[in-house]
């Protein structure tokens, strides 16, 4: 049975990835496009970006269009301490999908990267 009236394909997407996605660099451009696409499939969002006003504007539009929960966290993704801050913020959520579309761009398999990267 589809979740929240979503087509079967979106229900399968939610079962696979859970109810939360994280998008870093989400206030505009490609990050905002990723957030839009994930919200349209029914995922709740945790959005990270540097500028709180722009980030909250993006979040408000996503809430209005898709009826999903959207949490924002203004943080400089290139600054020191992003790894521990990310860990702290997502601790209570079951995040099953992540998009890191900002700042520092290390190469390699995500799970093989150092936490600092």
SS (H, E, C) the chain: CCHHHCCHHHHHHHHHHCCEEEEECCCCHHHHHHHHHHHHCCCEEEEEECCHHHHHHHHHHHHHHHCCCEEEEECCCCCCCHHHHHHHHHCCCCEEEEEECCCCCCCCCHHHCCCCC
pLDDT of res. 9: 56
pLDDT of res. 3: 47
pLDDT of res. 44: 96
Distance CA 1, CA 3 (A): 7
pLDDT averaged over 10-residue windows placed end to end, the chain, 117 residues: 51 88 92 95 94 95 96 86 86 90 72 77
Instruction: Confirm whether pTM is higher than 0.85.
Output: no
pLDDT of res. 4: 57
């Amino acid at each position: 049975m589809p979740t929240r009236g979503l087509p079967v394909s979106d229900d399968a997407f939610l079962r696979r990835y859970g109810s939360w996605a994280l998008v870093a660099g989400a206030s505009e451009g490609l990050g905002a496009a990723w957030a839009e696409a994930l919200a349209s499939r029914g995922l709740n969002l945790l959005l990270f970006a540097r500028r709180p006003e722009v980030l909250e504007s993006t979040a408000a539009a996503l809430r209005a269009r898709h009826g999903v929960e959207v949490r924002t966290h203004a943080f400089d993704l290139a600054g020191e301490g992003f790894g521990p801050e990310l860990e702290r913020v997502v601790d209570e959520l079951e995040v099953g999908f992540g998009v890191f579309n900002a700042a520092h761009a290390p190469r390699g398999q995500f799970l093989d990267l150092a936490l600092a990267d």
